[in-house]
Amino acid sequence: MIEAVGLTKRYGAKTAVYNLSFQVRPGTVTGFLGPNGSGKSTTMRMILGLDQPTSGHVTIGGHPYRKLPNAPRQVGALLDAKAVHGGRSARSHLLSLAQLAGIPARRVDEVLGVVGLQSVAKRRSKGFSLGMGQRLGIAAALLGDPQVLLFDEPVNGLDPEGILWVRNLMKALAAEGRTVFVSSHLMSEMALTADHLIVIGRGQLMADMSVKQFISANSADFARVRTPDTEPTQREKLVTVLAEAGGQVLSEPDGALRITGLPLPRISDLAHGADVRLWELSPHQASLEEAYMRLTQGAVDYRSTDDRKAGLMQQQPPGYLPPQPQPVVPEVPQQGWYAPPPPGQNPYAGGQGPYAGAPAPQPPAGPPSATAPGAPVSGGPAPVPGPAVPADAPPVPQAPPAAAPADLSKNEDPR
Ligand SMILES: Nc1ncnc2c1ncn2[C@@H]1O[C@H](COP(=O)(O)OP(=O)(O)OP(=O)(O)O)[C@@H](O)[C@H]1O
């Protein structure tokens, strides 16, 4: 088991990790998630004794890494796959690691086989592709047959076959009772691989729970309903009856309705009772990506802007007005689009949890339009105020933080 207690790491004015406490248990794959720069690699380096915490401590099986007897036989890690002497072959790189840890040479050939690099074992690693480098890094982590494994973005650069292999490898290692701690930005992959999640934002703990709990705490399942495109009155009638029955109704980009708060059979009965024909009534399960984006959207430090290419434009005569682009609502839901979690289920959005008191998301300024996708069409108050998207919303609405940890990079001590 890995146990972190009050872990804090400062680099000068920058607080990379702040007061982080968690446990990573054996027998499960624990996913370690967080936006870019949130402190995942720093935390992993502290676990492995490569960085000294400013305060707090972290142990593996009750001991700090540096005090573990023959640590490479107990803990395997992939932190930076590029940290290999490029002039060495894959085999000689692994052989040197094996010799340092007292691991027999035949184990090197075993792990080369496990990661599928036998045929290039004698090639210099500097000619390796990104994915081959990752495989070599994973081989190094497996070398000592350790009980505790840490992988920092192991599927980075792997082909689909490699991703599937890593997924199965992680699960198999956990099924053998090992402790597996893995960071990734690929939510779809994490949803398939991890049992438990530790989520950090700006170096602080945001969630520590099972994947299932995480999704239900941070999003809600919903029903998608479509009435005939040619008969807008049918849609309006349905919106009214659903709202009267207590449903929350949002408009989707293609004109369909997104309903929360009512089970599918009830929606069907209400439509039937109102003599409304349905072209679609389908259940939708919230994804880990939705739940993750909803939780962390306020803790994202590095956000892209549209490339308007204004710097490449010719200067226009005074008074010239550029054509206004039509607002495009993303096909895939983005900020402000996430179905709100059921009332009281998001410990980070209400009055409990470490971020209690953080501002709840508010709809962007401007009147919501019943025809604008994402605008609440009708219904009672949303359980957690979900930001609506007005008709004149920019392509990616910048919703305020859902429940953001304080930005510690500004050198402000939050205590
Ligand atoms: N040696 C260092 N000196 C100064 N700042 C550092 C150092 N290492 C990390 N940081 C800073 O600490 C913060 C956390 O970085 P870290 O690499 O741990 O994040 P991360 O969650 O692993 O990010 P990513 O997902 O992009 O890999 C960042 O702001 C980073 O710039």
* Among the listed residues 403, 284, 267, 268, the one whose alpha carbon sits nearest the alpha carbon of residue 332: 284
Q: Which amino acid is at 172?
A: A
Nearest atom of ligand 1 to the alpha carbon of 409: 29
- Say if residues 382 and 363 touch (Cβ distance below 8 Å): no
| Distance from residue 41's CA to the centre of ligand 1 (Å) | 7
83 secondary structure, DSSP code: -
Is the pLDDT assigned to residue 136 strictly greater than 80? yes
pTM greater than the 0.90 cutoff:
no
pLDDT at 15: 95
Q: Is the CB of 397 under 6 A from ligand 1?
A: no
12-30: pLDDT as tens digits: 999 999 999 999 999 999 9
- Say if residues 294 and 218 touch (Cβ distance below 8 Å): yes
Give the H/E segment covering residue 367. none
| Best residue among 10, 33, 40 to mutate for probing ligand 1, ranked by most atoms within 8 Å of CB | 40
- Say if residues 57 and 231 touch (Cβ distance below 8 Å): no
| Best residue among 42, 43, 186 to mutate for probing ligand 1, ranked by most atoms within 8 Å of CB | 42
Sign of CA dihedral 365, 366, 372, 376: positive
361-415: pLDDT as tens digits: 333 333 333 334 455 565 543 333 333 323 333 333 333 334 567 766 555 444 4
- The CATH class that applies to domain 2-216 reads alpha beta
- Say if residues 194 and 29 touch (Cβ distance below 8 Å): yes
- In our burial notation (b when 16+ CB lie closer than 10 A, e otherwise), range 195-209 reads bbbbbbbbbbbbbbb
The C-alpha atoms of residue 342 and residue 290 are separated, in whole angstroms, by: 14
Q: Is the CB of 34 under 6 A from ligand 1?
A: yes
Is the pLDDT assigned to residue 288 strictly greater than 70? yes
49 pLDDT tier (thresholds 50, 70, 90): very high
| Distance from residue 39's CA to the centre of ligand 1 (Å) | 6
Is the pLDDT assigned to residue 239 strictly greater than 70? yes
Residue 331 has a CB neighbour count (10 Å cut-off) of: 8
Mapping DSSP onto H, E and C, the string for 87-145 reads CCEHHHHHHHHHHHHCCCHHHHHHHHHHCCCHHHCCCEHHHCCHHHHHHHHHHHHHCCC
Highest mean pLDDT among 229-238, 350-359, 387-396: 229-238
Is the pLDDT assigned to residue 43 strictly greater than 80? yes
335-347: pLDDT as tens digits: 444 444 544 544 4
pLDDT at 372: 45
Which residue has the CA at smallest separation from atom 25 of ligand 1?
A: 36
How is domain 219-300+332-415 classified at the CATH fold level?
A: Alpha-Beta Plaits (3.30.70)
| Distance from residue 53's CA to the centre of ligand 1 (Å) | 14
Nearest atom of ligand 1 to the alpha carbon of 185: 25
- Weakest-pLDDT range from 130-139, 225-234, 311-320: 311-320
Q: Is the CB of 279 under 6 A from ligand 1?
A: no
| Distance from residue 24's CA to the centre of ligand 1 (Å) | 21
Q: Using alpha carbons, list the distances in angstroms from residue 231 to 38, 226, 241, 252, 375.
A: 49, 11, 16, 17, 20
As beta bridge partners, residue 8 has: 55
Q: Is the CB of 7 under 6 A from ligand 1?
A: no
| Distance from residue 30's CA to the centre of ligand 1 (Å) | 21
Nearest atom of ligand 1 to the alpha carbon of 43: 18
Which residue has the CA at smallest separation from atom 23 of ligand 1?
A: 37
- In our burial notation (b when 16+ CB lie closer than 10 A, e otherwise), range 26-36 reads bebbbbbbbbe
80 pLDDT tier (thresholds 50, 70, 90): confident
Mean pLDDT of 5-12: 96
- In our burial notation (b when 16+ CB lie closer than 10 A, e otherwise), range 340-367 reads bbbeebbbbbbeebebeebebbebbeee
As beta bridge partners, residue 77 has: 150
Q: Say what the alpha-carbon torsion angle 182, 145, 136, 167 is, to the nearest 10 degrees.
A: -40
Residue span(s) of the chain under CATH 3.40.50.300 come to 2-216
Burial class of residue 166 in the structure, from the number of CB atoms within 10 Å of its CB (0-12 exposed, 13-18 middle, 19+ buried): buried
pLDDT at 235: 95
pLDDT at 192: 94
Which residue has the CA at smallest separation from atom 5 of ligand 1?
A: 11
| Distance from residue 213's CA to the centre of ligand 1 (Å) | 28
Q: Using alpha carbons, list the distances in angstroms from residue 296 to 20, 236, 255, 330.
A: 16, 34, 28, 19
pLDDT at 410: 55
Mean pLDDT of 122-142: 90
Nearest atom of ligand 1 to the alpha carbon of 17: 14
Highest mean pLDDT among 263-272, 296-305, 314-323: 263-272
Residue span(s) of the chain under CATH 3.30.70.100 come to 219-300+332-415
Global ipTM: 0.98
Residue 106 has a CB neighbour count (10 Å cut-off) of: 8
| DSSP letter for each residue of 370-401 | TTSTTSEEE-S--SS-PPP--TT--SS--PPP
Backbone conformation region of residue 390, classed left if phi is above 0, alpha if psi is from -120 to 50, else beta: beta
| Distance from residue 203's CA to the centre of ligand 1 (Å) | 9
Nearest atom of ligand 1 to the alpha carbon of 153: 27
| Best residue among 14, 80, 204 to mutate for probing ligand 1, ranked by most atoms within 8 Å of CB | 14
